[in-house]
Chain A
Amino acid sequence: MHSPVTLLLELGLILTVLSVLGAVARRLTLSPVPLYLLAGLALGEGGIAPVPAAGEFVETGAAIGVVLLLLTLGLQFSLTEFTGSLRRHVPSALADLVLNAVPGAVTGWILGLDAIGILALAGATYVSSSGMVARLLADLRRLGNRETPAILSVLVMEDFAMAAYLPLLAVLASGGPWWQAVLGVAAAVGAMLAAFTASYRWGHHLGRLLSHPDAEQLMLRVLGLTLIVAALAELVHASAAVGAFLVGLSLTGETADRARAVLSPLRDLFSAIFFLAIGLSIRPDELVPLLPAALALSAVTAATKLVTGQYAARRDQVGPRGQMRAGTVLVVRGEFSIVIIGLVGTMHDALAPLVITYVFVLAIAGPLLTRLAGAAPLRLHKGHHR
């Protein structure tokens, strides 16, 4: 039993370090995720400054972090936007899925992972970091660009694919006999459909039940309901994250917008702790043997995302430079690749270190690439004018 002084001190130091790293990332328009992972590596077992007292809190915080990440993902999902994207960009979404999931699956197969490991790695290379892409678009002032709707449509479809993928993976990863897996998948898919129907038909009722003019009340109600549903989902082996995602999906309209606003500081805090915890769970020396594989996978899937984005933008009649911007901005991977690793846990020795290195590379390379794609000819253009 550690004294509260050590706990508070260690936590305070951790948060201070995270805030400094986050500020650095923000300044450079990079994703903070790789820096948080790095902090976790440094603080963990075999790292430079272990933090034994804060371990229990970090573990609990990490579980809440996943729940909040998925809740806010569900909150920003809107059926209208999804059907709108569906009308134009089904081929883009299919290209995205095939081009980016296959390299992950093949790598998993080469590394000798089992079916669940292969599925997890395919998911980790498939899903772009929608949060980071949205932030990049805003920071680089590209929201008005013509390629932007295509990019955002691809992201919406990815989010939707995650809605089917995460419960499937969670159930498969929880193990047990085959009938339990089938039952779990059926329950998860059923709950997903129910949540969609509920949000479509009675979303406003749920919204009325939860919404309250007072921000504190709104936060407590949404958070309370989410954690209860998350616990129930965990109970039926469908993963807490999936339960939280369902709650997010079934909230719509103004309640969803307000809930997102009040919950995002909490989400930022706990998701930072989640990334830290993932870093903590890995010994730095485990990363080294997987470095070549991670680098190769990063290079291949950066190229495939580039092609995906170019293809999607071309479908919207965007010119070559816009296609390049669209392709590069999608390269960044982040929170959801890590969530996937969180779901399958430590059952695969190679998987977590591989994906951590992979996310680390692309979370830094992606934003840099897209800056280059946007900036270089722009400077040329300015020179031309002045």
Chain B
Amino acid sequence: MDVTEVLLPGVGLRYEFTNHEGDRVGIVAERTGDFELVVYVGGDPDEGRPVVRLNSEEADAVAEILGAPRIAERFADLTKEVPGLLSGQIEVRSTSPYANLPLGRTRARTRTGASIVAIVRGEDVIASPKPDEVLRAGDVLVVIGTREGIAGVDQIIQG
């Protein structure tokens, strides 16, 4: 799934994606911590129809319910500063050749230039993992790099 991130100066960020049913969904993350969920329907492709507004507490609750670790957001600031730098999340599937092997064995940075800056494991987040950290099936790797670099790490991990 491709999530586009658009900077809203003075307001915050807008994330946009198309779901499996073809609905186009936008999420406005305001600086104040509030969120607004919109869908783009109807005749005007540029007009978001507001669905719901959430304050930061409600957004946390929804995020927990949906089980999506919001770790990537913490790196959004970093990727904003450097043009061309993106962050992505890559899941280690049980079929991955690197499941149960140390992170260093992937040689991801040497091969792609992209860095694995965190591992999300269930409720835990391992920030700046060392090369000897053993990857497990179900881990989500937070990767920072160019678009090609992130795609490269994805290929390495998925085998």
* B1-50 at interface with A (beta carbon < 8 Å): 6-11, 14, 26-28, 30-31, 36, 38, 40, 42-48, 50
Contacts of B81 in A (CB 8 A): 80
- Cβ contact within 8 Å between B44 and A144: no
Contacts of A143 in B (CB 8 A): 8, 11, 14, 28, 30, 36, 48
- Cβ contact within 8 Å between A145 and B8: no
Contacts of A82 in B (CB 8 A): 9
- Cβ contact within 8 Å between A144 and B50: yes
Contacts of A155 in B (CB 8 A): 9-10
- Cβ contact within 8 Å between B10 and A156: yes
**Quick check: is A348 within 8 A (CB to CB) of the other chain?**
no
Q: Please judge, given known A-B contacts A81-B9, A84-B9, A152-B10, whether A146 and B31 are in contact too, CB under 8 Å.
A: no
A322–B48 Cα gap in the complex (Å)? Answer: 10
Shortest CB distance B43–A (Å): 6
The interface bits of chain A over 129-143 (1 if a CB of B lies within 8 angstroms of the residue's CB, else 0) are 010001001000111
Chain A interfacial residues counted at CB < 8 A: 35
A237–B27 Cα gap in the complex (Å)? Answer: 46
Shortest CB distance B50–A (Å): 4
The interface bits of chain A over 57-96 (1 if a CB of B lies within 8 angstroms of the residue's CB, else 0) are 0000000000000000000101011101101000000000
> Of the candidates A84, A130, A144, A378, which one forms a contact with B7 in the assembled complex, judged by CB atoms under 8 Å apart?
A84
The interface bits of chain A over 354-386 (1 if a CB of B lies within 8 angstroms of the residue's CB, else 0) are 000000000000000000001001100100010
Closest residue of B by beta carbon distance from A317: B46
Closest residue of B by beta carbon distance from A148: B8
Contacts of A84 in B (CB 8 A): 7, 9, 80
Chain B interfacial residues counted at CB < 8 A: 26
Closest residue of B by beta carbon distance from A378: B47
Contacts of B11 in A (CB 8 A): 134, 137, 143, 148, 152
Closest residue of B by beta carbon distance from A374: B47
**Quick check: is B159 within 8 A (CB to CB) of the other chain?**
no
Closest residue of B by beta carbon distance from A147: B46
**Quick check: is A319 within 8 A (CB to CB) of the other chain?**
yes
**Quick check: is A208 within 8 A (CB to CB) of the other chain?**
no
* B40-84 at interface with A (beta carbon < 8 Å): 40, 42-48, 50, 80-81, 83
A87–B81 Cα gap in the complex (Å)? Answer: 12
A343–B110 Cα gap in the complex (Å)? Answer: 58
Shortest CB distance A346–B (Å): 33
- Cβ contact within 8 Å between B50 and A152: no
> Of the candidates A134, A374, A385, which one forms a contact with B10 in the assembled complex, judged by CB atoms under 8 Å apart?
A134
- Cβ contact within 8 Å between A141 and B50: yes
- Cβ contact within 8 Å between B46 and A145: yes
Shortest CB distance B119–A (Å): 27
Which residues of A come within 8 Å of B, CB atoms? 76, 78, 80-82, 84-85, 87, 130, 134, 137, 141-149, 152-153, 155-156, 257, 318-319, 321-322, 325, 374, 377-378, 381, 385
9 contacts between A and B (CB under 8 A): A134-B10, A143-B11, A152-B9, A156-B9, A156-B10, A318-B46, A319-B45, A321-B44, A321-B47
Which residues of B come within 8 Å of A, CB atoms? 6-11, 14, 26-28, 30-31, 36, 38, 40, 42-48, 50, 80-81, 83
